[in-house]
Chains A and B, each alone.
Chain A
Amino acid sequence: MENSTHIDPRNITADLYPKKFGKAGTIWTIVLIIICLVGAFAYYRQIRYGLVVTHMRDYVSWGIYISNFVFFVAISLVGSLITAIFRLANVKWSTPLTRIAEIIAVSAIAFASVIIVVDMGRPERFMNLFLHGRLQSPIMWDVIVIATYFVISLLLLYIPLLPDLKIMNKHKDRNTKFLNKLYTFMGSFWQGTSAQFKISNRAITILCITIIPVAFSIHTVTSWLFATTYRPGWDSTNFGAYFVSGAFLVGSGAVVVAMYIFRKSYHLEKYITGSHFDKMGKIVVMLALLYLYFNVNEYLVPAFKMKKSEEAHLAELFTGEYAAMFWFAILTGMIIPIFILLFPKGRRPLPAFIAGVLVVVGAWFKRYLIVTPTLLHPFLPMQDAPDNYFHYFPSWEEWAIAMGSLAGALLIITFFARVFPIIPIYETVTEQDEKLDNE
């Protein structure tokens, strides 16, 4: 299996320096921008005509937007896993993955905030949350914890970037005018002195310790938005752990996907090696098994008791209107990736990438299934309502906004990789030097 022991430290900067978009990169960026613009137009229509352009009605008042929000919050958790947990556990092999994980976390949490404002329908009333918010409401806790997590994630992205900014500032001839200005603004003060390193290393350690409980809180609180409500499918004491385990899984799947794409696009085979896919593959298997365990708990226990209120909800998921999507989510989100990644051949880059894609796609549909079917099964009978209140399928505006937000998150990652080194240059050089010294 490939590994990173034979990299010439002199080539590292050249290999990892941000590169201009190639043909594929340009097309990719244009496609993302177009999807974002379509989403922006759909949002304009929503602002202009109101939430009536969506298919959310009295019963399904949380549709694809909230599913998307939960998905974004889930995927953002990976920053704390790869960066913080691995760093604190002194896991050295994860160095090339830390920045990928952190930018996924930052972009996802940014768009989680955006999509929740979209769901509000009246964005100008957002400030009312702070002016008149009730601290008793889990929605308020979510707003606070998301803002906190966003700031910590930004710091965790920025502080380890400082040594790399010094490198970028050294190579002004390789940068555009705008980038030189940006690098100067962001990191001209970094001299790389031992005093600066001492402070920054300490700051990173503090951030790593702080981000773990905040990350657990962010998704636990998101789960409480549902679990504090007495409704079939949501009324569970297990929801916090269920959400957190699912979040780690989808985040890890996303990192595997991003690893493969960056490795291919920027020819980083020497840095993101087969060994990284092997190790991440094993982590994804472990997390998929853990999430599967929580799923068994979430569905088997209510199905065994089959309380009247849960019966319709479970029947809808297992054999009813949502059965195809439910089994698709379970199979692609957990079972198939486990079978692919369980074997060493499945943990090679391409199969691992496919497994990662399946995990992410399955996870998106899983969030849809957590949010929507429950809303179609209230305790009081649904009657005297128009026919379209009894079903939910998002309108084109909802699809466009949801896809636009996903494209927006990918666009942040894309531009970040264009502007900053997606693999930490300084840390890689240092680790290679240490290896050579040891040899």
Chain B
Amino acid sequence: MNNPTKIFTFLICFSPFLTMSQDSSKVEVPVKQSMVILNYYAINNTLPYFKVETKNKLGKKFEPVKEVEVSLYLGNEESPDALIAKLKTNAAGEAVTGIPGSLGSIWKSASGHIILAKAAGTKNFDESEAELSITKAKIELDTISDGETRSIQVKLLKQDGDSWIPATDVEMKVAVKRLGGDLMVSEEETYTTDSTGMIAAEFTQDSLPGDEKGNLVLVAKIEENDELGNLYAEKTVPWGVAKNATNEFDKRSLWATSDKAPVWLLAMAYSIMIGVWTVIIYLVFQMIRIKKLGKFNR
């Protein structure tokens, strides 16, 4: 092989390795900004809980930071008596806690509270804090059905001293709980409470599959409201179509377990296997015959 041919062959054969090398160009490192996010939740008007999230903001991206110690205080001062909990964030940079019994009476005594979250600094996370001011509120979910039309009435009340007063001008979602998320009950995406704290939503979802009895779960929720936090209430109603689930678990199919393979597949596969391996076994016997003939002649 002459030299140009050798060089050409070498380049052709090795060019993919050259092009497969990784891009090593420098990437500008964005400035890190650590933050703690505090949220308040009340599900079905029961005991509330708080969720803290620790994140680093890198450019436009938020990255959760795990193993960050966060102290939650009832009130805006760091006092051992007001400590709700000392939390450590998980792999998703989240931690959750309820109100401890020791602070139950203080929690009940007022209609609104300030919560302070103080996150300790770590190697990847700078010390930071967040404050949340919330007013206690509750959702009353009711339904009206007259045979032809179905509507949902939601009343939102917030605590004011010892009494509950309507919470007005609050945006709320009313939906049906489904497997992969919530389905709006009508074309309206959100509703706003009126001067009596009420909203009325017409249920226009017809023939929606429910459980075996035709039950659907209605939900009313307020998300990230500055004053009330996150509230969520649900109610089960028999407005769906009863699901008549047929269990095909025991039937033979391509996606079943090995002992339930379709008969046609088994017949085809085994007949081919038996056919080919019979030939192979026959040939092995022929080899034995050849061997015997050899010994006999010897």
Contacts from A to B (Cβ < 8 Å): 132-136, 141, 144, 148, 151-152, 155, 159, 162, 188-191, 193, 195-196, 199-200, 202-203, 206-207, 210, 214, 324-325, 328-329, 332, 336, 350, 354, 357-358, 361, 365, 393
Contacts and interface: CB of A to CB of B under 8 A. Distances in A.
B19 interface: yes
B286 interface: yes
B131 to A, nearest CB: 29
Pairs A-B, 10 closest by C-beta atoms:
A189-B294, A324-B19, A134-B258, A189-B291, A325-B16, A191-B297, A135-B261, A136-B254, A203-B286, A191-B294
A328 to B, nearest CB: 5
Nearest to A213: B276
Contacts of A144: 269, 273
B276 A210 contact: yes
* Interface footprint category on B: 35 or more
Interface stretch (B76-84, B104-112, B161-169, B277-285): B277-285
Contacts of A132: 258
Nearest to B266: A135
A132 B261 CA distance: 12
A148 B291 CA distance: 23
A393 B22 contact: yes
Contacts of A191: 293-294, 297-298
Contacts of B16: 324-325, 328-329, 365
B279 A206 contact: yes
Contacts of A210: 276, 279-280
A200 B290 CA distance: 8
Interface stretch (B7-15, B48-56, B170-178): B7-15
A134 B254 CA distance: 9
A135 B265 contact: yes
25 contacts: A133-B258, A134-B258, A135-B265, A136-B254, A136-B256, A136-B261, A148-B280, A152-B280, A159-B283, A159-B287, A162-B290, A189-B298, A191-B293, A196-B290, A202-B286, A203-B286, A206-B279, A206-B282, A210-B279, A214-B276, A328-B16, A332-B12, A332-B13, A354-B1, A361-B12
Nearest to B22: A393
B213 interface: no
B57 interface: no
Nearest to A187: B294
A241 B262 CA distance: 26
Contacts of A189: 290-291, 293-295, 298
A54 to B, nearest CB: 16
Given A148-B277, A206-B283, A328 B290 contact: no
A162 B297 CA distance: 16
Contacts of A357: 9, 13
A358 B12 contact: yes
Contacts of A190: 290, 294
Nearest to A190: B294
Residue in B12, B280, B290 with the greatest tally of chain A CB atoms within 10 Å:
B290
Interface in B242-298: 254-258, 261-262, 265-266, 269, 273, 276-277, 279-280, 282-283, 286-287, 289-291, 293-295, 297-298
B31 interface: no
Contacts of B279: 206, 210
A58 to B, nearest CB: 16
Contacts of A325: 16, 19-20
A148 B277 CA distance: 8
Contacts of B277: 148
Interface in B208-263: 254-258, 261-262
B255 to A, nearest CB: 7
B297 A193 contact: yes
B289 A199 contact: yes
B12 A134 contact: no
Nearest to B276: A148
A424 B16 CA distance: 39
